[in-house]
Amino acid sequence: MNKRPTDTLEDEHGVILKVVGTMPVLAESLEIGASVAPDVLRDIAEFMGVFADKCHHGKEEAHLFPALERKGVPLRGCPVGALTAEHQAGRVLVRAFTEAAEAYISQGASAKGPLIESLKKLTGLYPGHIWKEDYLLFPMTNKVLGPTEQQELAAKFEAVEEEMGRDVHHRLEQVAASLGERFVSVMPE
């Protein structure tokens, strides 16, 4: 059997959690006076903006949520409205992180406070958000969407990948793997 669209999204969650799992380690390092390399911060900013938001959330918002709406699942309220609100909150936090990272890169340790705060806020948002999708939204999706709708959704996800560029997706997966290896942290279940 071909991979279901929700399987693709769950796989992407694993990649996202590798990057999010580095965030408490980096925040703690900054708190004790260690420095964080600019390339690490820029990699995280790019990963969160492109892979997590444009690719992953883009698939959900442009394709999954409308497919669910066509089957009678409301876009307002729970679960879709709440998850969309978390996507929007994530975008705000990623922008704040990117700005804080650039300030830290240009100003040094004197600008570490906002960076630490943004790392902690992202760490606070993503694991719970992913849990809601993996254990609430995706099982519901697999009950609501039939095989034909699943195939159509999978094809739309493939189109997102093609538009973004498979090389970009692959490179960002490698960034996540590298960050995960360098900065190990156990994310709460």
Whether pTM > 0.85 for this model: the answer is yes
CA–CA distance, 26 with 42 (Å, rounded to integer): 13
| Residue whose structure tokens are 């444009």 | 54
- Mean pLDDT of the chain, nearest integer: 94
- The pLDDT, as a whole number, for residue 184 is 66
Q: Is 186 left (phi over 0), alpha (psi -120 to 50) or beta?
A: beta
Fold type of domain 5-178? Four Helix Bundle (Hemerythrin (Met), subunit A) (1.20.120)
User: What confidence tens digit (pLDDT) does each residue in 82-136 have?
Assistant: 999 999 999 999 999 999 999 999 999 999 999 999 999 999 999 999 999 999 9
Domain locations along the chain: 5-178
Asked if residues 187 and 179 have their Cβ atoms less than 8 Å apart, the reply is no
Percent of residues, the chain, with pLDDT higher than 70:
96
Measured in whole angstroms, how far is the alpha carbon of residue 168 from the centre of its chain?
A: 15
